Structure 1
Amino acid sequence: MLVHSAGALVERAALAYGPETAVVYRDRRISYAEQIARIRQTGRALLGLGLSKGDRVAVLMSDRPELLDVYYGALWAGLAIVPLNAKASASDHAYIIGDCGAQAVVHDASKADRVAGARAETDVEHVFSVDREAVLDGGGYLPDLVARQPDGPGRPEVTPDDRYGIFYTGGTTGRPKGVEHNHRAFVAAIMSEMLELGLGERDRFAHVAPLTHAGGMFVLPVWLRGGTNVILGGFDPEKFKATVARERITASMMVPTMLYVLMDSLRDGNVGLESLSTVIYGASPIGRERLLQAIDTFGPIFSQLYGQTEAPNQLTVLRKSDHAAAVESGDLTPLSSCGRPVGIAEVRLADDELKTVADGEPGEIVAQGPHIMRGYWNKPEETAAALRDGWLCTGDVAKADDRGFLYIVDRKKDMIISGGFNVYPKEVEATLFSHPAVKDVAVIGVPDDKWGESVKAVVVRDPAVQVDAAELIAFVRERKGPVLTPKTVDFLEAIPLTAVGKHDKPALRAAHWGGRDRGVN
């Protein structure tokens, strides 16, 4: 039986590249041998708490080496990882910790207040800080436990079907929902990334997107090819450029908004950045004119991925060669696509009965593959709606051309993608409805040159309560964090309704998307 797991792959990389540099962070350089020792010790420390295979370890940390220790230490030990979004609210963190039944939470100093707030609403047993000054009352200092563990071989048995993690995405009913994956799914996704996205041997990968989300999917592919993961702790264009020049960075992954900011910061083209040979972009579509500008500056070094949390990172890919062919031929149409299906996925366009639509007709993207989720944690009805007859129903509507490129034209779900983050309007609406001045509200996505889409709230006010847009925006920010906060608020006397009495969101969106060839960005 196949015995691959994330821990087994990390062990394999460490054996092959022991003395070479696995991680760079600020002035720290960590070898593969040191990294596997840290992972083993951390995994053993977590097991020493009495945790068992499949138990959940929630992590709320900034990007730093200790995050990799905890993340891969848990996986090495056969525990399931639950990454917490640093931009979410303490209330959402508390909900996730309780919903997944996390047995342990690990945090750093930058997130201690968030964890303290979430902990007050849960009964999680173990809370540990990786920074001594940020240990909470009743909590512990994880490095003390780690230092007492042996660092030699002896990995616990972990099979491909064991739980890898639960990854929370926005909820259509106002609460996040957990996507459950096993090791088989993530190993398949990792191998596919190595095949599809242009990564090479000994890449030096600069991490500017959060390691707890899509950016972290590239750590293990880099290690498996003997490369170095350079952790920047977030995106700043000047820091990124300096790091590329100093470390001779060859690859990175960005959301389009980051690429726009980088392009706007350039003064001398790609001078100092010539080592870059692969830039992967995704999480939201990119403006074609900005992409052409980037190709003109850097060359055809770009790969686009399209996927979902339910199918990690990849259902389709627009390869570097696709970008180059489009520019060379003058046929730029494929640059507006999300690419063609990756090798591990069966992807087609289907109608509501899951029948394949006629050529050229729009249909929902549905997919099968070894990287598809097990289901939504403790949500059988939502799982049944998303996984139908063995097909993942993505909620994205697309058309295909005769070359197999897919073009997303709409979403069956109301989801908004802003700056690479998924925003489910129901979450924002539920928060606004709790404000005494809001009688009715509908939340939509509108075009935004920087963010792709931005969140707009359309509100009907209670005439007896005074409120303005700034107050409602601050109200949401305090309770849900910046990602879910509307950038604008419109006030109407009444929200238009469909024939069956529901909010007519297509009508609301049409006022902002008119004249475009698709209703999403």
Structure 2
Amino acid sequence: MFDHTIGGLVERCALAYGPEIAVVYGQTRITYRELISRIRRAGRALRGLGLEKGDRVAILMEDRPELLDVYYGALWAGLVVVPLNTRLSVADHQHILCDSGASVLVHDAPHAARVGRIRGTSGVDAVVCVDDDAVLPGGCSLDRLMACHSDRPGSPEVRQDDLYGIYYTLGTTGQPKGVVHSHRTMIAVLFSELVELGLGQRDRFAHVAPLTHAGGGFVLPVWMRGGTNVLVGGFDADALVEVIARERVTATLVAPDRLYRLVDRMSQARADVSSLSTVIYGGAPVDRQRLLRAIEEFGPIFVQLYGQTEAPNQLTVLTKGDHARAVASGDHMPLSSCGRPVAITDLRIVDGERGEVPAGRKGEIAASGPHVMLRYWNRRAETERALRDGWLLTGDHAVTDDRGFVYISRREREVIVANGATVHAREIESILTAHHGVREACVVGIPGREMGDALKAVVVPDPGSRVSEEDLVSWVAERVGGVFVLVEFVTALPHTSFGMYDKAVLRSGTWGRRSRQAC
């Protein structure tokens, strides 16, 4: 596509925007010139541990500037990043470290105890801490390692087809599996994001989604246009509104349920949030009526994306213009879609024989493009099932209309066998959120007494709503009968660090309070 590598692009950004602010973290301000100095020294420090091109560096830490130093330093130096989801279990972290063959694990103080527990069984050769007061016995301090290395220009040789990273999927069933990307595939993603998502010159992007997942995909596009990445350190609606006002934030990325909370706080806030011109959302169904109210109040500043770890962020997009036209025309149907295919993606809806089906007929989403993963790490059979003749079979089922809008109907990974019937979680969630008294809903399968799982709907009611279990059971039964249901009301739903509903927690029954059974 373009003859670039990630390290080369960061070097270009530093040359073009040297004295301007690249990163904000609380009161910390880091210029582009300082940024490239930190990245070069971090990259050389990692190579100084004996790592060679293609060796894996695992990263376990919260969002902070040092994460960017390590992440981009490793890529600059030709190493392969293995970001670890901080919310995964010890067993999952052990599996990922062993499976990826990571040579080095870089961590922060909050995760030092966990690293101390797992490093002996993880196969890593060295552990490096970004906090001097939390260095483990036998470990290294990143600051001290970096102090021994120069920030002079001149990076190791890195090519586009060299490995970039191994990203492990959530693993809601079975162990997490690693998705392999190269510099070439990820650069395709970055350029597509600049084209498709409405990001502009010198944006100030507030990061509340983890940098080790989808949120990190927007760091370099912001730098490529001379902008500033504002690290917030997690989602809190009130804190985010304050940051938007204080830092004159122009863009952010949130999951749909967090979008609702952000819009509510922005509506109530006395702070000036008029700088915000782009709000990107995705990862779950969105409530159309709430989205319409948000557009009415703040204008068409919203953009929806749909993608997978296997094809990051860039399968379809519902643009600001799509939102604006839906409101202006009164045709609101597109707001229930995930948009239309982005320019770099060829997208088809296919049947079980992988034949393309016409508009209006359901099938599986298959995608092809320069950003599709290379393979699953150490999983040949699963790679062969997912990648067929140059096409990625996503496992997501959808239908298109005659304008090309894509409407996701279900995900194969969220199929529940309940009371002998096959139930698709997304379908029930959509039915529940269509009820006027429901703010959010998440559906999971939990062990039942007979015939597989029972269906559990965890619901956040609208403020002031008097909706009851019986109301929702009847509401679902009128639309999908014959399914055993458990209804649970909670005040909030748990989230993974990726911003999605944490279905593992909901299955465990440790979140909220279970209401009585109904059917």
**Do they fold alike, i.e. is TM over 0.5?**
yes
Mean Cα deviation higher: 451-460 or 164-173 = 451-460
Q: Paired residue for 1:483? A: 502
Which amino acid in structure 2 is aligned with residue 9 of structure 1? L
Shift of 1:75: 0.4
Which amino acid in structure 2 is aligned with residue 217 of structure 1? G
SS across alignment from 1:460: coil
In 2, Cα distance between the equivalents of 1:450 and 1:254?
Answer: 17
In 2, Cα distance between the equivalents of 1:165 and 1:488?
Answer: 31
In 2, Cα distance between the equivalents of 1:357 and 1:399?
Answer: 9
Q: Does residue 447 of structure 2 align to residue 458 of structure 1?
A: yes
Shift of 1:270: 8.1
Q: Quote the sequence identity (%).
A: 57
Q: Paired residue for 2:351? A: 351
Q: Paired residue for 1:402? A: 402
In 1, Cα distance between the equivalents of 2:242 and 2:290?
Answer: 22
TM-score normalised to the size of structure 2?
Answer: 0.83
TM-superposition CA deviations, 1:271-329 (whole Å, max 9, x none): 51110000100121211112112112211000000000000111000000000000000
TM-superposition CA deviations, 1:430-450 (whole Å, max 9, x none): xxxxxxxxxxxx996763756
Q: Paired residue for 1:301? A: 301
Q: CA 1:349/1:283 → structure 2, altered by over 3 Å: closer, same or farther?
A: same
Which amino acid in structure 2 is aligned with residue 190 of structure 1? L
Shift of 1:241: 0.9
Q: Report matched runs for 1:375-386 at 5 Å.
A: 375-386=375-386
In 2, Cα distance between the equivalents of 1:142 and 1:484?
Answer: 35
In 1, Cα distance between the equivalents of 2:136 and 2:269?
Answer: 48
Q: Paired residue for 2:109? A: 109
In 2, Cα distance between the equivalents of 1:86 and 1:460?
Answer: 34
Q: CA 1:24/1:322 → structure 2, altered by over 3 Å: closer, same or farther?
A: same
Q: 2:241 touches 2:265 (CA, 8 Å); kept in 1?
A: no
Q: 2:410 touches 2:425 (CA, 8 Å); kept in 1?
A: no
Q: Paired residue for 2:469? A: none
Q: Report matched runs for 1:188-227 at 5 Å.
A: 188-227=188-227
Q: 1:456 touches 1:489 (CA, 8 Å); kept in 2?
A: no
Shift of 1:410: 1.5
Mean Cα deviation higher: 264-273 or 302-311 = 264-273
SS across alignment from 1:413: helix
Q: 2:102 touches 2:123 (CA, 8 Å); kept in 1?
A: no
Q: 2:207 touches 2:229 (CA, 8 Å); kept in 1?
A: yes
In 1, Cα distance between the equivalents of 2:148 and 2:201?
Answer: 35
Q: Does residue 366 of structure 2 align to residue 366 of structure 1?
A: yes
Q: Paired residue for 1:151? A: 151
TM-superposition CA deviations, 1:129-182 (whole Å, max 9, x none): 000111112211111001111001001111110000000003475100000000
Q: CA 1:452/1:181 → structure 2, altered by over 3 Å: closer, same or farther?
A: farther
| Aligned length, in residue pairs | 453
In 2, Cα distance between the equivalents of 1:6 and 1:450?
Answer: 41
Q: Does residue 303 of structure 2 align to residue 310 of structure 1?
A: no
Shift of 1:42: 0.2
Q: Does residue 83 of structure 2 align to residue 83 of structure 1?
A: yes
TM-score normalised to the size of structure 1?
Answer: 0.83
Q: Paired residue for 1:25? A: 25
Return the structure number with greater relative CO, CA threshold 8 A, min gap 6: 1
Q: 2:97 touches 2:123 (CA, 8 Å); kept in 1?
A: no
TM-superposition CA deviations, 1:179-218 (whole Å, max 9, x none): 0000000000000000000000000011111010000100
Q: Paired residue for 2:483? A: none
Shift of 1:489: 6.9
In 2, Cα distance between the equivalents of 1:81 and 1:255?
Answer: 24
Q: Does residue 231 of structure 2 align to residue 231 of structure 1?
A: yes
Q: 2:241 touches 2:266 (CA, 8 Å); kept in 1?
A: no
In 1, Cα distance between the equivalents of 2:302 and 2:128?
Answer: 40
Structure 1 unaligned segments of length 5 or more: list them: 416-424, 427-441, 462-468, 470-476, 491-510, 513-521
Q: Paired residue for 1:325? A: 325
Q: Paired residue for 1:53? A: 53
Shift of 1:28: 0.5
TM-superposition CA deviations, 1:237-296 (whole Å, max 9, x none): 111111111111101111112112223334547851110000100121211112112112
TM-superposition CA deviations, 1:354-377 (whole Å, max 9, x none): 110123111111010000000100
In 2, Cα distance between the equivalents of 1:135 and 1:458?
Answer: 43
Q: 2:368 touches 2:390 (CA, 8 Å); kept in 1?
A: yes
In 2, Cα distance between the equivalents of 1:443 and 1:330?
Answer: 30
Shift of 1:55: 0.7
In 2, Cα distance between the equivalents of 1:488 and 1:92?
Answer: 17
Q: Paired residue for 2:490? A: none
Q: 2:130 touches 2:142 (CA, 8 Å); kept in 1?
A: yes
Shift of 1:117: 2.5
Q: 1:90 touches 1:115 (CA, 8 Å); kept in 2?
A: no
Which amino acid in structure 2 is aligned with residue 63 of structure 1? D
Q: Report matched runs for 1:419-430 at 5 Å.
A: none
Q: CA 1:54/1:285 → structure 2, altered by over 3 Å: closer, same or farther?
A: same
In 1, Cα distance between the equivalents of 2:406 and 2:336?
Answer: 9
In 2, Cα distance between the equivalents of 1:486 and 1:293?
Answer: 31
Q: Paired residue for 1:290? A: 290
Shift of 1:107: 0.4
SS across alignment from 1:371: coil
SS across alignment from 1:29: strand
In 2, Cα distance between the equivalents of 1:197 and 1:443?
Answer: 30
Q: Report matched runs for 1:163-202 at 5 Å.
A: 163-171=163-171, 174-202=174-202
After superposition, the CA RMSD in angstroms is: 2.5
Q: Paired residue for 1:133? A: 133
In 1, Cα distance between the equivalents of 2:62 and 2:276?
Answer: 25
Q: Paired residue for 1:40? A: 40
Q: 1:208 touches 1:233 (CA, 8 Å); kept in 2?
A: yes
